[in-house]
Chain A
């Protein structure tokens, strides 16, 4: 008797998983999804990129997305079965592209299922398509990669060297959405021509107020935005410079950047301080040959960089304040943390108060290196 019971238990334990067991070929492994509103209806239309491995030694992967429709996100996701016979498996999805229309209507309706469903992981990358729909992004050529989503993921993982967009994972977006005194942003994707092929390019930032998109920042403004935010950003600073009557272009490579936000009191009002410290190297001199061994010239170059970055940051801040009225910098959150008693008055009407907030930007640059050359290349007759 005892043996039987033991055997039964063993059977139960070892066969339990089979209940939910699905063969790999029954699954359509989703790598990415483009989310659109179907024209003239309230339905969703998803372009689901499915990893479809063809047999053989090299294992070719095709990248044609499956287009499905449905009344809700989940409905559309499940309707893949009607088109492919496979149930979509979402745990490996890396990118979700949302169309601009949807983003302007409010992105929460899209995100609810994505964050509620246990299969979709919260580290999926979110994007907004700046083309007319999100589907077209997945119809581009992934050339080097097999799949558009993987290409997007590659771009994101290398973005630190080109901070012209700010990548956002689902969890981070939700955190910004629900945090007090903070509005979210998402990177945007456009399609560009490359050797006659259409390829996706991540460029710029979509600004949200609550969950509704209110506007764009282009790539250069996003660059300034990444310098204004307390996050890692490197990249290049390209600066037209005039020294000793000659003018040219100097490129600086940023090796280190720290941004500190702090809130202080100034005459009964909150004042935001954005302190940026840059460590740069001279990477490219074109058209001019400043002798940076001279301390005065070095200081001048440093001063140039500082004032340029300061101006860019101020510009983007004032544009966001005036046009979008959306605190994508998280200044409210800083005030809440550092001056909680003031925040209590501001909280109820923050999007209005934010436009009136005084922001002081200070940039401090140190030129730390000049590549392999100790001096500009000498020219002699």
Chain B
């Protein structure tokens, strides 16, 4: 397999877009009510050590991705089994992203179109992209990040006329508990979903690159998310934010500058499309790479096509309705994802540190 190297800037762009992905459009952390901005900040704070840990894994074992590291840390058999579980995780996450995308399209726009259609089109594009490899995705992200940032910040600026600061008070009316719960949920979706990157990245330009990529990507992505979510709550109020499937879309709907600049919903759609595309490609890439590693194939490219179509099917089968989808994202996902995103990585890190110390293999 050819070693794919991406530059720091590309890496940061991918991480940034990945974090924004679904989180831009779906309501997250709504139980914190008017203190949601605090929950996002706390989540960023909690994510920093976790992402440092992911970066540390890359730093310790350069040239390896998560599946190699698992085998190194846990031994060949257990490593492969956990690897398979991670493949499932990436696969499932990819299906969820696809389904969210499909539900968004058919809810706000094309009600009569079967969901399969928009989903397949996005999936086929991702298939193409993943076949071309990580470098292409890196260049794509690098180019489109500026669009996403401009659009997100631009719509936030245009929404200033609709902002009502009383939506953020009273501060901590329900106490700290709902804020911490919300912060944990925001941590698992989207921030530490970046565990997927440990399966995708293996080669960096410099030894310190992983730290830079993860942390700068997290902080930039987190800040943009912070701005958007705070803005959405400022505009919609926490009650509407909570009862909307797509608060981002609803907030942008409200832009109306003198009847001249209005109906900009499509911007929210495009932003979502770009970041969702990156998120999906990364999930797909991780699934395929993982399958290839665990099953000892030389190259992952030949399983991309079947995996993609499997993912499309999965995304249709995974939920019966948008109601179920929302419940999953809000209630089940944090619990389900915590072992993948926090539990196993910590154990793995400890195992690797220990093993390296015993073998005396510490990198200089």
Chain A residues within CB distance 8 Å of chain B: 9, 12-13, 16-17, 19-20, 118, 121-123, 171, 174-175, 178-179, 333, 336-338, 340, 343
Contact = CB atoms under 8 A, between A and B. Distances in A.
Contacts of A179: 237, 239
B104 to A, nearest CB: 11
Given A123-B256, A171-B254, A19 B239 contact: no
Nearest to B105: A16
Interface stretch (B21-29, B54-62, B107-115, B284-292): B107-115
B322 to A, nearest CB: 12
Contacts of B133: none
B9 interface: no
B240 interface: yes
Given A13-B121, A178-B240, A118 B110 contact: no
Contacts of B203: none
A340 B110 contact: no
Given A122-B250, A175-B240, A336 B111 contact: no
Contacts of B239: 175, 178-179
A340 B173 contact: yes
A171 B170 contact: no
A174 B113 contact: no
Given A20-B112, A178-B243, 5 more contacts: A16-B118, A19-B112, A19-B114, A20-B109, A175-B240
19 contacts: A9-B124, A12-B117, A12-B121, A16-B113, A19-B112, A19-B114, A19-B117, A20-B110, A118-B107, A118-B108, A118-B109, A122-B250, A122-B253, A122-B254, A171-B236, A171-B254, A175-B239, A336-B170, A336-B173
Nearest to A118: B108
Nearest to A335: B170
A16 B121 contact: yes
B169 interface: yes
A9 B117 CA distance: 11
B254 A123 contact: yes
A121 B113 CA distance: 21
Interface of B is mostly: helix
B180 to A, nearest CB: 19
Contacts of A9: 121, 124-125
A377 B125 CA distance: 78
Contacts of B169: 337
B240 A20 contact: no
A361 B102 CA distance: 54
Interface in B240-285: 240, 243, 250, 253-254, 256
A123 B124 CA distance: 37
Nearest to B256: A123
B321 interface: no
Interface string B153-181: 00000000000001001100100000000
B25 to A, nearest CB: 14
Contact of B240 (A19, A171, A333, A338): A171
A17 B266 CA distance: 14
A122 B255 CA distance: 11
Contacts of B237: 175, 178-179
Contact of B170 (A121, A123, A175, A340): A340
A174 B244 CA distance: 12
A17 B243 CA distance: 29
B240 A16 contact: no
Contact of B166 (A16, A174, A333, A343): A333
Nearest to A157: B259
A115 to B, nearest CB: 9
A12 B124 CA distance: 10
A337 B125 CA distance: 49
Contacts of B166: 333, 337
Interface string B305-336: 00000000000000000000000000000000
4 tightest CB-CB pairs across the interface, nearest first? A178-B239, A19-B113, A337-B169, A340-B170
Contacts of A337: 166, 169-170
Contact of B111 (A17, A20, A175, A338): A20
A177 to B, nearest CB: 9
B117 to A, nearest CB: 6
Contacts of B254: 122-123, 171
Contacts of B107: 118
Contacts of B124: 9, 12
Nearest to B117: A16
A121 to B, nearest CB: 7
Contacts of A175: 236-237, 239-240
Nearest to B259: A157
A199 B241 CA distance: 39
A118 B253 contact: no
B264 to A, nearest CB: 12
B189 to A, nearest CB: 24
Nearest to B246: A118
Nearest to B169: A337
B186 to A, nearest CB: 23
Interface string B116-129: 01101100110000
A175 B244 CA distance: 13
A187 B239 CA distance: 23
A290 B159 CA distance: 47
A5 to B, nearest CB: 9
Nearest to B237: A175
